[in-house]
Amino acid sequence: MQETRGGAARATAQTSEREVVRDAARVNVCAKAAYLSAIGALFSRWGDDYEAAYEAARATAADLAIAPATPVGAVRCRLENEVLTLGAPAAAVPVESLYKPWADGRERRRGVSAEFGAARHLLLGDSAQHMRALYRALELEVPMEFCAMPDHVTLMTEVVALCVDAGNHEAALALLSEHFDWLDAYEQTLLAHAAALSSAPPSARTDELARALAHGRELAVALAAAVRDLSVSLR
């Protein structure tokens, strides 16, 4: 009888240890998802409130993750107005559709050639349509400023975090695998803008924009690292 009770006690202790490990793993994954969402938020237009977004990113940084340093106001302003704004001189907006061609089927239905869609990388491509459908399924409302770009990285990282918080790791991993494979192309766009700017006559204005592009690349690198880190933890 004593051996039976001892065996039951050991089994209970082992179960408790496993639950502690699972809880710690769950907390770790949620922290990484929160950090990813905080980095994604840095690609939005914050205006004078931008410092709070950087503070949030630092607050959620876990393990070896290092949140990007807060830039001076002038650099952040140039980043928002001339890099993260569609149609701006050095625009590099983190919207998935801009870095992927339309699918042939949709192009044919719209009467647009595949060559045109592939060459232009327009807004509201397949990724945008998929994200719109996902928002409807989750009963999420897309903010007005993102209506033309539902596949903006700020929204997508937030949805990933929501999936993780809900315990739906499979859905979160699918989103990371299917909707974040364009980040290298995004970073290359920032690098191309910086290279083009380097050939312009030096001035205080071009130096400031160069720093804004460099900071944009820093954000892109941090985002890609956060995606990889969370993906590994979810597998």
Torsion (CA) 21, 26, 32, 36 in degrees, nearest 10: 170
Contact in structure between 67 and 38 (CB atoms under 8 Å): yes
Q: Would you give the distance in Å from CA 82 to the centre of its chain?
A: 20
pLDDT tens per residue across span 128-170: 999 999 999 999 999 999 999 999 999 999 999 999 999 999 9
DSSP state of 84: S
**Burial letters 184-201, b for 16+ CB under 10 A, else e:** eebbebbbebbeebeeee
Q: How many CA atoms within 13 Å lie on the side-chain side of 162?
A: 12
Whether pLDDT at 90 is above 70: yes
Query: What pLDDT, on a 0 to 100 scale, did the predictor assign at position 120?
Result: 53
Q: Would you give the distance in Å from CA 33 to the centre of its chain?
A: 10
Query: What pLDDT, on a 0 to 100 scale, did the predictor assign at position 14?
Result: 46
pLDDT tens per residue across span 34-64: 999 999 999 999 999 999 999 999 999 976 6
Structural tokens at position 192:
């191309």
In the predicted model, what is the mean pLDDT of the chain? 86
For residues 87-106, average pLDDT: 85
Q: Which amino acid is located at 70 in the chain?
A: T
For residues 208-221, average pLDDT: 96
